[in-house]
């Protein structure tokens, strides 16, 4: 992806977050120069990869398969006592995050507002293939039985608990608008805890056609 595209996506994301009255921490708006000399005081942000994150899953087709998010907090069991994480995500209509599960992380996915969030679900079997068995999920703490390959649609205010090993993909329902999606979870490790059913890329290859407006979490190592 071009840096100019990423910059514009961050601008439009900030506009949508403002529309939804969701506030980010002040450092979300720092320019690259504002990070200089702040490693020691911002070590948790840098090392635990808080902040802006964007992926096209290696497809180079962001609006069909992609996701932009902001990690608000995240722990690291090797370095601190924080055992939880929180993200805010913006999902466009029919913009897919491909089918995947997590070996370690358990998470709640929450529709914080906007349109409806569609989630396709399937249990994994012992070979990490799709299981053909029915399974239970909890929607806002209420048990629901789902058939293999079943679908849940979360309206604003609703949430689902996704346990380890449960395949899921999600996208905004067509005709309903962008979705503001929250994630509350155990510690998040995108480098080793994502099992995508089909092989995808996690972080984009960036063509630096202009300077970053705001740093992505994957940029920190090059700027700080």
Structural domain range at position 74: 3-223
Q: SS3 of 169, please? A: strand
Query: Shortest CA distance to 181 belongs to which of 114, 122, 120?
Result: 114
* 218: DSSP letter: G
Strands 159-162 and 135-139: antiparallel
198 secondary structure, DSSP code: S
pLDDT of residue 218: 94
CA distance 10 to 104: 29
From CA 42, how far away is CA 159, in angstroms rounded?
31
Number of domains in the chain: 1
Nearest by Cα to 122 from 97, 99, 98, 92: 99
pLDDT given at position 49:
95
pLDDT at 64: 97
pLDDT at residue number 70 = 98
Question: Structure pTM?
Answer: 0.96
Ramachandran area for residue 58 (φ above 0: left; ψ -120 to 50: alpha; else beta) = left
Length of the chain: 224
User: For position 92, what pLDDT does the model report?
Assistant: 98
CATH, residue 205: 2.60.120.10
pLDDT at 65: 97
| 54 contacts: CB under 8 Å, gap ≥ 6 | 1, 6, 9, 10, 62, 66, 67, 68, 69, 204, 216
Each residue's pLDDT tens digit in the chain (224 positions)?
A: 999 999 999 999 999 999 999 999 999 999 999 999 999 999 999 999 999 999 999 999 999 999 999 999 999 988 889 999 999 999 999 999 999 999 999 999 999 999 999 999 999 999 999 999 999 999 999 999 999 999 999 999 999 999 999 999 999 999 999 999 999 999 999 888 999 999 998 788 899 999 999 999 999 999 88
How high is the pLDDT of residue 153?
A: 98
Tokens linked to 117: 């969030």
Residue 141: per-residue pLDDT: 97
In whole angstroms, give the CA distance from residue 1 to residue 49.
Answer: 20
């Amino acid at each position: 992806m071009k840096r100019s595209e990423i910059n514009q996506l961050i601008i439009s994301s900030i506009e949508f977050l403002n529309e939804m009255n969701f506030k980010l921490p002040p450092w979300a708006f720092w320019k690259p120069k504002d990070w200089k000399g702040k490693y020691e005081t911002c070590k948790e942000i840098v090392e635990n990869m808080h902040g802006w994150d964007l992926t096209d899953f290696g497809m180079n087709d962001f609006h069909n398969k992609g996701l932009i998010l902001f990690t608000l907090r995240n722990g690291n069991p090797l370095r601190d006592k924080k055992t939880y994480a929180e993200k805010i995500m913006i999902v466009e209509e029919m913009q897919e995050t491909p089918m995947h599960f997590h070996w370690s992380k358990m998470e709640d996915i929450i529709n914080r507002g906007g349109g409806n969030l569609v989630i396709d679900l399937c249990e994994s079997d012992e070979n990490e293939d799709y299981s053909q068995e029915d399974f239970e999920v909890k929607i806002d703490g209420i048990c629901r039985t789902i058939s293999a390959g079943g679908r849940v649609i979360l309206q604003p205010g609703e949430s689902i608990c996704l346990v380890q090993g449960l395949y899921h993909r999600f996208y905004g329902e067509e005709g309903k608008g962008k979705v503001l999606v929250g994630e509350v979870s155990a510690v998040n490790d995108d480098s080793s805890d994502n099992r995508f059913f089909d092989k995808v890329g996690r972080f984009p290859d960036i063509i630096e056609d202009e300077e970053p407006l705001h740093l992505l979490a994957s940029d920190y190592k090059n700027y700080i």
